[in-house]
Amino acid sequence: MHNAFPVKVVTPDGTALEVEGVEFLKLPSVTGEVGVLPSHSPSLVKLSPGEVQCRVNEEDNSYFVAEGLAHLLPDKVLVLAPFIDSASSIDVDRAKAAKKRAEDLLSSKYDSVDRDRARLALIRAEARLRIALAS
């Protein structure tokens, strides 16, 4: 039994992140958080906006992902996503502004507002803020 596994995140621009020696991986899925340990059963996970957390040498590193797919294998994990942001690269002011815009749209009395898009924008902004402010 292996004690760790590699995680690779691929975006349309190429490999965005490669982490070796991951002891535990937390993924935000559409059905809730998924925890991955070495020798995990093979599966495919649809990602939702939230925190990807990699534990290496008992230290947790957090990243934001908006959506994507994760292919879990016993000896590695491959994540396909449009982009991934490290906690330190999240612009808190921009996330606060995005949250405010989404809240304003949702409170609008006009029917022309795309409420589903505004709700998703709010979820993404809140997740970014949670990750950035926790690190």
> Could you read off the pLDDT of 103-132 as tens digits, one per residue?
998 898 777 768 888 999 999 999 999 999
- The answer to whether 64 touches 51, Cβ cutoff 8 Å, is yes
pLDDT in tens, 4-27: 999 999 999 999 999 999 999 999
**What's the one-letter identity of residue 106?**
L
pLDDT in tens, 61-120: 999 999 999 999 999 999 999 999 999 999 999 999 999 999 998 898 777 768 888 999
Q: Who's near 130: CB < 8 A, 6+ residues apart?
A: 51
The CATH number fitting domain 5-87, selected from 3.40.50.720, 3.40.50.1980, 2.60.120.10, 2.60.15.10: 2.60.15.10
pLDDT higher than threshold 70 for residue 38: yes
pLDDT higher than threshold 80 for residue 42: yes
Confidence (pLDDT) at 108: 82
Nearest-10 crossing angle of helices 92-106, 115-134: 150
pLDDT higher than threshold 50 for residue 1: no
For CATH 2.60.15.10, list the domain ranges present in the chain. 5-87
Does the predicted model carry a pTM greater than 0.85? Answer: yes
- Burial of 6-33, coded b for 16+ CB within 10 Å and e otherwise, reads ebbbbbeeeebbebeebbbbbbbeeeee
Cα–Cα distance, 69 to 7 (Å, whole number) = 13
Burial class (CB in 10 A: 0-12, 13-18, 19+), 61: middle
90-134 belongs to which homologous superfamily? ATP synthase delta/epsilon subunit, C-terminal domain (1.20.5.440)
Confidence (pLDDT) at 101: 94
For CATH 1.20.5.440, list the domain ranges present in the chain. 90-134
